Structure 1
């Protein structure tokens, strides 16, 4: 099998820049990478977009999802050329489960009290609720192990998430038919380590935990994240034992 292309899918309140260090690490090992924008408009539509990105790639793909991006790759990962899934401080839903239901299994984190909401016009008419993290809360809640200047920049560059994405039910669970790996951020104050661990274990994912890592682990610990992604790439390209 040729070396898979890694498709990095960011989560809510950020963009593909959160993968900067991970991309550099993967490139240094000769692994091709694509880091498309995640629209953050809804689970079904976001997954359809990422699935279309994967389908356009010639050869196998390993999908990597951070946070809400984990839910997106769970649905998009049924695309024919997806060979594996990697979850980074991510939500890993079951088919038919919403993210609100998944997170509701565990004590609330600081996310809920830190959200700021507004109503905006929706495509095609009507209104939609969008959410971001309050700028003053962002550094401590999202990026506690990132330098203060960088955390402040991230806070003012947030991309909002359509709140409806939290109540949509996952239409597929690709981890049932694809090998998966997961990284739990031990000091995540957005999703929470217990929720990340539960989803990863339910999916039978190869699990790595990083004590003290914040929700922004892809930015603060890029070498560790890239190492897990490389493990996944190597595993899906290794010839089967006879």
Structure 2
């Protein structure tokens, strides 16, 4: 069991997923008495999404650990500047440097299979022209996002995926919380959505405590929730 002063864990999902993707992780954490919050990620842009997550964190009494999956890692890099955030956990995630965008970080390494399997659509923007958002082609979703998840589950996840505004790939991070707060990172070594080399490079650059999960897909929180929860618990114990 955790102590009364243990931090609350705030889980931030990434693109092409929703907060339900954390269900197994949430169950594991709750079984250890950890307080958990898993809000919806708007997926409309790095600055605005980070501002939303920072606002949620700021309204939680006591210390908070931010956990970000995929694009959610970029968000917690920025949102982690919130005063009561005491640690960051990156799960198969982008970990940005200040002034760096997702596209710039990914562009240093070979593109993952995900890059060739994105489908654009438009969404309305009040007072402006429609903007572009992206989803994964449903037929490719199992192989590029969740290869180690049962097929019947991935068929549901592919239909329920939430789109990411395309502009988010080019938006630079305006803060770098890992420079002042401890961080942990999980590398999914069979990831087809974010090149594992991207994950390793960025996590090491951030000085994170890194673990690798062999054979894990991008959907490691779904396929191996205990491994993800164990790393989060390390962060809880270290900061509580």
Q: TM-score by structure 2 length? A: 0.98
Structure 1 moving runs of 4+ over 2 Å: none
Distance 1:102 1:24 in 2: 33
Partner of 2:10: 7
Instruction: Report the Cα distance in structure 2 between the residues aligned to 1:186 and 1:120, rounded to whole angstroms.
Output: 34
- The aligned runs of 1:107-118 (5 Å cut-off) are 107-118=110-121
**Is 1:41 paired with 2:56?**
no
- Structure 2: how far apart are the matches of 1:188 and 1:162? 22
The residue aligned with 2:173 is: 170
Q: 2:202 aligns with which of 190, 199, 202?
A: 199
Report what 1:240 is aligned to: none
Return the match for 1:93 from 93, 96, 105: 96
- 1:40 partner SS: coil
User: Which residue does 2:230 correspond to in 1?
Assistant: 227
Which residue is equivalent to 1:132? 135
Tell me the equivalent position of 1:121.
Answer: 124
Distance 1:124 1:33 in 2: 37
Q: Does 1:53 pair with 2:56?
A: yes
Partner of 1:84: 87
CA-CA distance at 1:123 after TM superposition: 3.3
Q: Which runs of 5+ in 2 are unaligned?
A: none
The superposition leaves residues 85-111 of structure 1 with CA deviations (integer Å, 9 ceiling, x where unpaired) of 000000000000010000000001111
How big is the shift at 1:127?
1.6
Instruction: Encode CA deviations 1:106-156: one digit per residue, 9 max, x unaligned.
Output: 001111110000222213332211000000000010000000000000000
How far has the Cα of 1:53 moved from its partner? 0.3
Q: Using the alignment, how far apart are the partners of 1:124 and 1:170 within structure 2?
A: 25
CA distance in 1, matches of 2:166, 2:190: 24
Quick one: distance in 1 between partners of 2:64 and 2:127? Answer: 33
Aligned pair count? 237
- How many angstroms apart in 2 are the aligned matches of 1:74 and 1:136? 32
State the TM-score, normalizing by the size of structure 1: 0.97
